[in-house]
Amino acid sequence: MAALYHHPAPEEITLLPLLRAVADPVRLGIIYHLHSLGEANCTTLLRGRPKSSMSHHFQVLREAGILQTRVEGVQHRNTLRLDVLEERFPGLMSAILRECPADLPEKI
């Protein structure tokens, strides 16, 4: 496990990669779950998918600036970078998160 992740600075976050990252059903699901749970690690959100696939999606979200990963022991806890995103593209993520299903946490 690479203990270090590169999280892009706010100025490095650009719209098109961000949109591309969000425009995927699995990744949108990850975003919604993180929004509901506040924090989650990769395995928690697997729901039958292979780890390699989920790890890939977390990487895409990370490099797009959407989430940050904090290493805690053997787990890597992920949280949305809502403050940064709201500062960088006001209203964008909140518009997306408004569509978050209300019963998501139980679907895990």
Partner DNA sequence: TTCATTGTTCCATGTTGATGGAACAATAAG
Partner DNA sequence: CTTATTGTTCCATCAACATGGAACAATGAA
Q: Footprint of DNA on this chain (CB under 7 A)? A: 1-3, 5, 20, 24, 26, 41-44, 49-60, 69, 71, 73-77
Of 3-32, binders to a second copy (CB under 8 A) are 15-16, 19-20, 22-23, 25, 28
How many Å from the N-terminal Cα to the C-terminal Cα in the chain? 25
102 sits near a second copy (criterion: CB under 8 A):
no
**Residue 96, both tokens:** 């997306």
Residue 25 Cβ, how far from DNA at the closest point, in Å?
A: 7
**Residue 76, both tokens:** 């890597």
Burial (0-12, 13-18, 19+ Cβ within 10 Å), 41: middle
Locate all alpha helices (DSSP H) within the chain, ordered by sequence.
15-22, 25-37, 51-63, 82-88, 92-97
Residue 2 Cβ, how far from a second copy at the closest point, in Å?
A: 27
Q: Which does 19 bind (CB under 5 to 8 A by kind): DNA, a second copy, none?
A: a second copy
Of 69-98, binders to a second copy (CB under 8 A) are 89-92, 94-96, 98
